[in-house]
């Protein structure tokens, strides 16, 4: 019976391939939305992840960078430098704003860098300078391509004009990008004097970052200090939280669509086998054998669909990288396992339809001429 | 009792209710002995296939009882009937009904999963049937590559593989040309002689009458004395061709009168304008 179950499944290879493909596309929807969201979330934390100081110091009550505002008096930099175990402190200014490049407007993290800073600027350059001077800006290479601007062209940030002096890599996503300008320019834009946004602290060799963060909080008033790992974790969680509902909705939509498609394809598949089922019944095969066969076929179709979905997903990832680099996708083992589990549930649920179909098949159908 | 393979008593099968009640099989009783080749004949729509379905345990009678080699199948639960069919009845259908995904050998061995010992215990029997039915060269072929005659031989081998005491055949030659039909008939006759099993066959094929042991004539769902005439010739009202009313496949009622046609084409023409073809 098992042999027939499998052989009848693949006896019409085109039919089986199309069924698996449709089911695979349905499951792909579930993986795709999650992969895009994870990819985007990963890009949102690109700055703290790549700059990676030992400790981040910020205004008390602030715990992350994304969508946050932090102000600390600039004299507190000196206090932090005096804390035992601190090797170096780099102040940055930071603002969420819109970069207007060509005809495009892109939400961006704008980071203001002091002259001569060694650690807070772009970590990978495509071309040009990595140190913006007065009236100069460094923007992501991909944004430059999308907006069709080149070195020497001008862009606008918060109604102020800047000349592009460099293009950075890995600083762009669909949701936002990272632009670097001089500390002085950003201070003017923000109408500030005597304050920084964040202090990037490097510890002396052998000093535990978590102990150093604790020490900073104890010795400098009204600041929060977090290790890089904690800071990044907070940023990632916030980014994911913002998309949890979206992911949930898309997963439900994708799953419902997948269930509907799997049920439809299985229904069509079993309809073609009504006569075979009638023959099995006439020959003396009982309910258990026939139902088991239907479940195995539903399971095989769904699992083949899952494999197809994973192959399509990695293909989509490759093609996106090649042709739409602005879209970031991240396929995690967790999301694949989750979709695998969802597929199992789909298979169980969807097999109810062929079970009902097989129960309804009258063995007398075998007598039809 | 041992010699009586099948006993059917007062079998009735009704469909619908009230004024729409149709009695497809009406109070049929019969006893069939081991090693007999019994034909069920009669006009189309007389209830032959319904009767055969009941005898094979595929359809429950509204009334009456059926015993197949000492087992009263009409009393059995639905869950038990499939295993009775697997062990005691072999089916041969007009449409062959082979499983398209399986090879000739796999089709023949397929029902062995339902009996003790399974495939391995019946492999020698399968080989013997393949040899006997001249299917050796087609052992690994798929049904779609076989001729009609070959398909029916595979179906016969499948029906025999579990050595059931009773074979039920529904128009086994209906889809075959005269040469292949003759061959299948000879095989079935040999089976009755060699395997000592009983074959009950629904057929319209008059050539089989010569090799059968008994002929049961079914008309309007009931067993009746067969008319002495071999045919009842009537005229197709559309083309005027002579048609045998007893065996005609295409017929319809119009204003309380039964009209028989040589083909569906003539019937369709009649439906469009019946008055054109009716002469008072």
Same structural domain, A9 and A58? no
**A272 CB within 8 Å of a chain B CB:** no
Nearest CA in chain B to A12: B101
Question: Which of residues B223, B242, B262 is at a domain's end?
Answer: B223
Specify if A137 maps to a domain: yes
pLDDT in tens, B98-124: 998 899 999 999 999 888 888 888 899
Same structural domain, B47 and B159? yes
Contacts of B271 (CB under 8 A, 6+ apart): B252
pLDDT of residue A265: 75
d(CA B169, CA B110): 18
d(CA B1, CA A286): 29
pLDDT in tens, A187-231: 999 988 889 999 999 999 999 999 999 999 999 999 999 999 999
Specify if A233 maps to a domain: no
d(CA A15, CA A21): 10
Specify if B124 maps to a domain: yes
Q: Is the predicted pLDDT of residue A117 greater than 90, yes or no?
A: no
Q: Which residues of chain A does B111 touch, with a Cβ-Cβ cutoff of 8 Å?
A: 283-284
Domain that holds residue B96: 4-223
**A359 CB within 8 Å of a chain B CB:** no
pLDDT of residue A236: 84
d(CA A209, CA B216): 99
Same structural domain, A205 and A185? yes
Q: Is the predicted pLDDT of residue A244 greater than 70, yes or no?
A: no
How would residue A306 be classed by pLDDT, with cut points 50, 70 and 90? confident
| Overall number of domains in chain A | 2
Same structural domain, B24 and B139? yes
Same structural domain, A183 and A250? no
Tokens of A76: 């507190």
Same structural domain, B105 and B216? yes
**A71 CB within 8 Å of a chain B CB:** no
**Which among A11, A283, A366 has CB closest to B86?**
A283
**Which among B99, B171, B175 has CB closest to A276?**
B99
Question: Which of residues B179, B201, B223 is at a domain's end?
Answer: B223
Contact state of B99 with A287 under an 8 Å Cβ cutoff: no
d(CA A129, CA A122): 10
Same structural domain, A120 and A202? yes
Same structural domain, B48 and B117? yes
pLDDT in tens, A134-159: 999 999 999 999 899 999 999 999 88
Same structural domain, A340 and A302? yes
Same structural domain, A185 and A64? yes
Same structural domain, B76 and B26? yes
Residue B3 CB: number of other CB atoms within 10 A?
Answer: 10
Domain that holds residue A337: 2-44+238-367
pLDDT of residue B228: 58
CA B127, B133, B138, B143 dihedral sign is negative
pLDDT of residue B226: 67
pLDDT of residue A135: 94
In 3-state terms chain A splits into helix, strand, coil percentages (rounded to 5) of 55, 20, 25
Q: Which residues of chain A does B99 touch, with a Cβ-Cβ cutoff of 8 Å?
A: 4, 8, 276, 279
Query: What's the longest Cα–Cα distance across chain B?
Result: 69
Specify if B228 maps to a domain: no
Specify if A168 maps to a domain: yes
Residue with tokens 């002469």: B279
Same structural domain, A58 and A9? no
Half-sphere exposure of B199 (CA within 13 A, CB side): 31
Same structural domain, A94 and A217? yes
**Between A256 and A318, whose confidence is greater?**
A318
Question: Which of residues A228, A250, A283 is at a domain's end?
Answer: A228
Specify if A38 maps to a domain: yes
Nearest CA in chain B to A8: B101
User: Which neighbouring-strand residues pair with B235?
Assistant: B242
Contacts of A196 (CB under 8 A, 6+ apart): A71, A72, A74, A77, A91, A92, A93
**Between B149 and A259, whose confidence is greater?**
B149
Same structural domain, B182 and B71? yes
Contact state of B82 with A3 under an 8 Å Cβ cutoff: no
Residues of chain B with pLDDT under 50: 1
Nearest CA in chain B to A288: B79
Q: How many residues does chain B have?
A: 280
Same structural domain, A159 and A289? no
Contact state of B82 with A369 under an 8 Å Cβ cutoff: no
Same structural domain, A221 and A304? no
Q: Which residues of chain B does A364 touch, with a Cβ-Cβ cutoff of 8 Å?
A: 53, 58-59
d(CA A265, CA A263): 6
Contact state of A369 with B87 under an 8 Å Cβ cutoff: no
Nearest CA in chain B to A285: B82
Q: Is A349 exposed, middle or buried (0-12, 13-18, 19+ CB in 10 A)?
A: middle
pLDDT in tens, A162-194: 999 999 998 887 777 899 999 999 999 998 888
**A363 CB within 8 Å of a chain B CB:** yes
**Cα separations in angstroms, B134 against B92, B128, B131:** 18, 10, 5
CA A304, A305, A310, A314 dihedral sign is positive
Is residue B39 a contact partner of residue B212, using CB atoms and an 8 Å limit?
Answer: yes
Same structural domain, B152 and B239? no
pLDDT of residue B1: 44
Question: Which of residues A205, A228, A251 is at a domain's end?
Answer: A228
Same structural domain, B203 and B253? no
Torsion of CA B136, B140, B145, B149, to 10 degrees: 30
Phi/psi of residue A120, nearest 5 degrees: -100, -5
Question: Which of residues B179, B202, B223 is at a domain's end?
Answer: B223
Mean pLDDT of A77-105: 92
Angle, vertex CA A53, rays to CA A138 and CA A38, nearest 5: 70
Specify if A140 maps to a domain: yes
- Written in H, E and C, the secondary structure of B61-107 is CCEEEEEECCEEHHHCCCCCHHHHHHHHEEEECCCCCCCCCCCHHHH
Low-confidence winner among A71-75, A107-111, A122-126, A295-299 (lowest mean pLDDT): A295-299
**DSSP characters for A323-369?**
H-TTS-----HHHHHHHHHHHHHHHHHHTHHHHHHHHH--GGGGG--
**DSSP characters for A234-301?**
HHHHHHHHHHHHHHHHHHHHHHHHHHHHHHHHHHHHHHTTHHHHHHHHHHT--HHHHHHHHHHHHHHH
| Overall number of domains in chain B | 2
Same structural domain, A199 and A245? no
d(CA A105, CA A147): 9
**Which among B95, B99, B174 has CB closest to A4?**
B99
Most confident region among A114-123, A203-212, A283-292 by mean pLDDT: A203-212
**Which among A285, A363, A366 has CB closest to B114?**
A285
Q: Residues of B at the A interface (Cβ-Cβ below 8 Å)? A: 49, 52-53, 56, 58-59, 79, 82-87, 89, 91, 93-95, 97, 99-102, 106, 110-111, 113-114, 158, 170-171, 174-175
**Which among A276, A287, A367 has CB closest to B53?**
A367
Nearest CA in chain A to B107: A4
Specify if A50 maps to a domain: yes
Mean pLDDT of A66-77: 90
Question: Which of residues A183, A210, A228 is at a domain's end?
Answer: A228
Same structural domain, B198 and B251? no
Contact state of A369 with B174 under an 8 Å Cβ cutoff: yes
CA distance A176 to chain B (A): 55
Specify if B150 maps to a domain: yes
**A300 CB within 8 Å of a chain B CB:** no
């Amino acid at each position: 019976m098992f042999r027939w179950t499998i052989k009848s499944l693949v006896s019409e290879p085109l039919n089986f391939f199309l069924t698996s493909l449709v089911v695979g596309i349905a499951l792909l929807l579930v993986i795709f939305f999650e992969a895009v969201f994870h990819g985007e979330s990963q890009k949102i934390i690109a700055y703290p992840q790549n700059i990676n100081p030992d400790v981040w110091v910020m205004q008390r009550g602030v715990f992350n960078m994304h969508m946050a505002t932090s102000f600390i008096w600039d004299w507190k930099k000196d206090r932090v430098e005096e804390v035992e175990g601190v090797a170096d402190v780099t102040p940055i200014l930071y603002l969420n704003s819109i970069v207007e490049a060509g005809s495009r407007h892109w939400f961006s993290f704008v980071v203001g860098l002091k002259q001569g800073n060694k650690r807070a600027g772009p970590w990978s350059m495509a071309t040009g300078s990595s140190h913006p001077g007065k009236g100069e800006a460094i923007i992501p290479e991909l944004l430059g391509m999308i907006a069709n601007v080149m070195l020497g062209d001008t862009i606008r940030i918060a109604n102020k004009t800047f000349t592009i002096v460099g293009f950075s890599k890995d600083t762009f996503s669909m949701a936002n990008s990272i632009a670097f300008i001089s500390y002085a320019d950003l201070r003017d834009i923000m109408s500030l004097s005597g304050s920084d946004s964040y202090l990037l602290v490097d510890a002396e060799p052998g000093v535990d970052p978590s102990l150093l963060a604790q020490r900073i909080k104890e010795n400098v008033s009204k600041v929060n200090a977090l290790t890089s790992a904690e800071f990044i974790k907070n940023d990632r969680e916030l980014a994911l939280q913002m998309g949890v509902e979206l992911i949930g909705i898309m997963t439900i939509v994708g799953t419902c669509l997948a269930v509907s498609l799997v049920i439809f394809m299985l229904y069509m598949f079993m309809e073609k086998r009504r006569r075979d089922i009638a023959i099995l019944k006439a020959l003396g095969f009982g309910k258990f054998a026939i139902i088991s066969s239907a479940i195995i076929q539903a399971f095989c179709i769904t699992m083949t669909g899952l494999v197809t979905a994973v192959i399509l997903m990695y293909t989509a990832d490759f093609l996106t990288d090649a042709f739409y680099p602005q879209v970031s996708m991240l396929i995690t083992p967790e999301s694949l396992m989750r979709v695998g589990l969802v597929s199992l549930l789909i298979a169980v649920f969807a097999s109810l339809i062929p079970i009902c179909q097989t129960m309804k098949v009258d063995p007398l159908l075998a007598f039809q001429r | 009792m041992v010699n009586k393979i099948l006993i059917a008593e007062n079998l009735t099968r009704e469909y619908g209710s009230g004024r729409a009640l149709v009695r497809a099989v009406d109070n049929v009783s019969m006893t069939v002995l081991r090693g007999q080749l019994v034909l069920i004949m009669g006009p189309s729509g007389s209830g032959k296939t319904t009767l055969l379905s009941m005898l094979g345990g595929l359809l429950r009678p509204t009334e009456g009882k059926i015993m197949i080699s000492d087992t009263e199948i009409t009393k059995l639960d639905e869950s038990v009937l499939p295993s009775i069919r697997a062990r005691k009845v072999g089916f041969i259908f007009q449409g062959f009904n082979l499983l398209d995904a399986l090879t000739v050998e796999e089709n023949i061995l397929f029902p062995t999963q339902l009996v003790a010992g399974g495939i391995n215990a019946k492999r020698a029997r399968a080989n013997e049937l393949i040899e006997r039915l001249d299917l050796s060269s087609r052992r690994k072929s798929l049904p779609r590559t076989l001729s009609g005659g070959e398909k029916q031989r595979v179906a016969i081998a499948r029906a025999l593989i579990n050595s059931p005491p009773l074979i039920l055949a529904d128009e086994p030659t209906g889809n075959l040309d005269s040469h292949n039909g003759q061959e299948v008939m000879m095989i079935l006759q040999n089976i009755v002689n060699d395997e000592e099993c009983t074959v009950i066959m629904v057929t319209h094929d008059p050539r089989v009458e010569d090799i059968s042991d008994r002929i049961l004539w079914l008309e309007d769902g009931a067993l009746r004395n067969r008319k002495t005439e071999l045919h009842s010739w009537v005229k197709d009202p559309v083309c005027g061709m002579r048609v045998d009313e007893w065996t005609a496949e295409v017929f319809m009622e119009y204003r309380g009168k039964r009209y028989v046609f040589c083909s569906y084409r003539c019937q369709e023409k009649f439906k469009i304008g019946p008055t054109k073809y009716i002469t008072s």
